[in-house]
């Protein structure tokens, strides 16, 4: 089992499990992350957790099942509670990591990168995350009545942010929530293009490189230098929030799903993407690569 070294102290090492794709998808839901945090502290049972989080019984059982299916929690013991029997669950590991392919059985916490810190400001400030990751709703919505399919990618973006800062409240929101609350004047990371994420569509023209055209299916990204329509093309962009000049908006999107996956993969490697970043607007166009030939994006290259 890999180990994480805390605070560069060789005496304080925490056993850790690797986060695979199934676990990342399960953790893309903020409620399930809260449940996991509770169970990491000590074993508990669904109804007790439901009371703590003020959730309905049916919903808590649904989330427990998702976590158990992803092997993030497991049964600990049974106990008599209020005249009945309750099954207590616990986290399967005290911490989790993503294996970056390094050899050996130790995983040491990585040094944060100053350029990345600058790039994430002011969403990142003094080790705190101020803002939200916004994904398209999985329900039909917006003028094109689409269903987003990239919400699970928010988990990967959140994990990257978690290496640089913390947030006490939920970090992921749906685009429909942003429109409902009219909360456009915040720091935001928008995942998905103008077809699937209506907030991306609202801010599209404010980015230094953006999606071209006004009509479905918006399959072209235009930059000051060129334009791209390949499915696996993605973009990472940053601009000042036009609703509040003290806030910023990031876009992580692609021409199609494979392009968005490539952009998220690039975001996970920001240290290589923003190595010369100073301040202000920014964009990088990337192309997703399938190096092992299994049909999935597993690498990327910067094309602009």
Spell out the residues 6+ positions from residue 218 whose beta carbon is closer than 8 angstroms to its own: 193, 194, 195, 211, 212
pLDDT of residue 12: 45
Top-ranked range on mean pLDDT: pick from 96-105, 156-165, 222-231: 222-231
- Judged by DSSP in three states, 218 sits in coil
Residue 154 C-alpha from the chain's centroid: 3
pLDDT, average across residues 174-187: 95
Q: Is the Cα torsion angle 119, 121, 124, 127 positive or negative in sign?
A: positive
Domain 17-91 belongs in CATH node 1.10.10.10: yes
Torsion region of 150: left, alpha or beta (phi above 0 gives left; psi -120 to 50 gives alpha): alpha
112-302 and 17-91 share a CATH fold? no
Q: Enumerate the domain spans of the chain.
A: 17-91, 112-302
pLDDT, average across residues 100-108: 43
Please give the class, per CATH, of domain 112-302: alpha beta
- 104 pLDDT more than 80: no
pLDDT of residue 111: 46
SS3 content of the chain, % helix, strand, coil (to 5): 30, 25, 45
Q: What gap in Å lies between CA 123 and CA 114, rounded to an integer?
A: 14
pLDDT, average across residues 229-246: 96
pLDDT, average across residues 248-264: 96
Q: What gap in Å lies between CA 46 and CA 52, rounded to an integer?
A: 10
What is the end-to-end Cα distance of the chain in Å, rounded? 39
């Amino acid at each position: 089992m890999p180990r994480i070294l805390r605070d560069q102290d060789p005496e304080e090492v925490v056993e850790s499990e690797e986060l695979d794709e199934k676990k990342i998808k399960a953790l893309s839901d903020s409620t399930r992350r809260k449940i996991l945090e509770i169970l990491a502290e000590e074993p508990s049972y669904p109804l007790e957790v439901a009371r703590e989080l003020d959730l309905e019984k049916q919903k808590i059982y649904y989330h427990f099942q998702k976590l158990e299916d992803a092997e993030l929690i497991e049964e600990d013991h049974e106990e008599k509670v209020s005249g009945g029997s309750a099954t207590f669950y616990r986290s399967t590991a005290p911490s989790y990591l993503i294996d970056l392919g390094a050899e050996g059985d130790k995983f040491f916490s990585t040094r944060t990168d100053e350029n990345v810190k600058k790039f994430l400001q002011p969403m990142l400030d003094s080790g705190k995350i101020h803002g939200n990751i916004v994904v398209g709703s999985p329900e039909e919505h917006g003028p094109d009545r689409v269903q987003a399919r990239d919400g699970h990618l928010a988990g990967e973006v959140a994990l990257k942010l978690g290496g640089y800062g913390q947030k006490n409240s939920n970090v992921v929101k749906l685009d429909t929530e942003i429109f409902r609350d009219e909360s456009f004047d915040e720091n935001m990371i928008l995942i998905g293009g103008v077809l699937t994420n209506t907030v991306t569509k609202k801010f599209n023209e404010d980015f230094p490189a953006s999606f071209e055209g006004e009509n479905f299916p918006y399959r072209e990204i235009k930059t000051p230098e060129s334009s791209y329509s390949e499915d696996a093309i993605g973009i990472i962009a940053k601009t000042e929030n036009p609703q509040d000049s003290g806030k910023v908006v990031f876009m992580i999107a692609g021409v199609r799903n494979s392009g968005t996956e490539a952009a998220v993969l690039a975001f996970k490697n920001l240290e290589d993407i923003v190595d010369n970043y100073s301040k202000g607007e920014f964009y990088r166009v990337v192309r997703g690569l399938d190096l092992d030939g299994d049909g999935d994006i597993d690498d990327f290259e910067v094309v602009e």
